[in-house]
Structure 1
Amino acid sequence: MKKQLWDISPPVHAGAPVFPGDTAYSQQWAATIGPGCPVNVSAITMSPHVGAHADAPLHYDADGAPIGEVSLEAFLGPCRVIHAIGCGPLVKPEHLAHAWAGLPERVLVRVYDRQPQDRFDDALPAFAPETVEQLADLGVKLIGIDSASIDPASSKTLDSHQTIRRRGLRVLENLLLDDVPEGDYELIALPLKLTTADASPVRAVLRSLP
């Protein structure tokens, strides 16, 4: 049977919301099809945190690895989507406990009924650091969320980012999980091999399991 595919990457365009102060997406045409030119070629400017993206350790650790040096293993393989819709400002362990049993190494958490795609959510739901600790204790190697950050937008200490640094977890942010039921899938969300960057866009997809 053909496997079902879910595209969990929000669209990236000039109006895509970005973290306040971050570089929004813009595109200019370096060449266009016409007399003497057989191709269209564009130049793109954007933060690597626009759209669905993978943070590198360098993003939250001055001595951390850039995304191009991070192993791809965590970004490919079995995962579980867990719903914590309407959980409030922080995803706490009790919001996920109904799906603890037999967790795979990758966990994606849906906090929005419908992800806001026309504005940045200043009150974005994030992970409580104790939730990240609990997931790490259960053997999880990658966490993901459909909000723009695993920490509150106003945080200056980035407690959950510092927890994934300390525990060696990988992270995906700003996924689009609006139409994804709870359950187990195969995750494919490979970052680009950007050798000095603090993050990378990903084209994140889920595939149904056999």
Structure 2
Amino acid sequence: MQTAPASRPPHAPRRLWDISPPVHAGAPVFPGDTAYQQTWAATLGPGCPVNVATITLSPHVGAHADAPLHYSPDGATAGEVSLDAYLGPCRVIHAIDVGPLVLIAHLQHAVEHLPPRVLVRTYQQQPQDAFDSALPAFHPDTLSWLADLGVQLVGIDSASVDPAHSKTLDAHQVLRHRNLRVLENLLLDDVPEGDYELIALPLKLTTADASPVRAVLREL
């Protein structure tokens, strides 16, 4: 397995990879979901010393963390989940253009000494101009296998761990039953396969089913 770049001068800052796609009015969302919208509640001018924006958006816009409430009627909200899973050692594994579902076989080359967080890159270049109705997703068995290996958080660079047309959300149900945390819509285009530190904390949204995150990877 190719490892993340490790050579740097002593005391030099550790490199960061920003793995959050840009969020703006044209950012793609799941069909029927609320797109990003912004208006100005106040603008700089005579008698007003500041700009103040008002934003409307789905918590699933851009890089985001689904909370258990998203797929379980009695699940925890974004503000209630423990932050531990979203911060710490992780591995980026490439499964680029493998087809509609990421299978166990696509990841087996990179699971030796696996850390508790796994992010899977499926796109050569993540689509950012339109929603991908043929988005790559996880086979449910793959998530169960990762949980058996001790993984606590999974991430993917598509908009969902389930196919866009799924009504049963089988992969999300594995997240539910195995108590896995999840990140979706990550931007992994420029990230080499290897090990990093993940920092992707959800906001403390006390009633929401998900939260946007500013996800970054830091060189170990």
Q: Give the TM-score of the pair, scaled to structure 2.
A: 0.95
Q: Percent identity?
A: 78
Matched, 1:203 2:198: no
Alignment of 1:2 onto 2:13: yes
Give the paired residue count: 209
Distance in 2, Cα, partners of 1:96 & 1:156 = 26
Q: Give 1:156's match in structure 2, choosing from 153, 167, 175.
A: 167
Give the structure 2 partner of residue 70 of structure 1. 81
Q: How far, CA to CA, are the matches of 2:100 and 2:89 in structure 1? A: 28
What secondary structure sits across from 2:143 in the alignment?
Answer: helix
4+ residue segments displaced more than 6 Å? none
For residue 96 of structure 1, give the secondary structure of its aligned residue in structure 2.
helix
Cα distance in 2 for partners of 1:108, 1:13 equals 24
Q: Unaligned stretches of 5+ in structure 2? A: 1-11
Distance (whole Å) between structure 1 residues aligned to residue 204 and residue 166 of structure 2: 29
Structure 1 residues without counterparts, runs of 5 or longer? none
The equivalent of 2:145 in structure 1 is 134
Matched, 1:188 2:199: yes
Displacement of 1:2 after TM fit?
A: 1.8
Residues 1:114 and 2:114 are matched in the alignment: no
Q: Write the distance in 2 (CA, Å) between the matches of 1:123 and 1:3.
A: 36
Q: Residue 27 of structure 2 aligns with which residue?
A: 16
Cα deviation for residue 70 of structure 1 reads 0.2
Q: Kindly report the root-mean-square deviation, in angstroms, between the aligned alpha carbons of the 2 structures.
A: 0.3
Q: For 1:58-81, what per-residue CA distance to the aligned partner results, in whole angstroms no more than 9, with x for missing partners? A: 000011010100000000000000
Show the counterpart of 2:155.
144
**Counterpart-to-counterpart distance in 2, 1:201 and 1:100:** 28
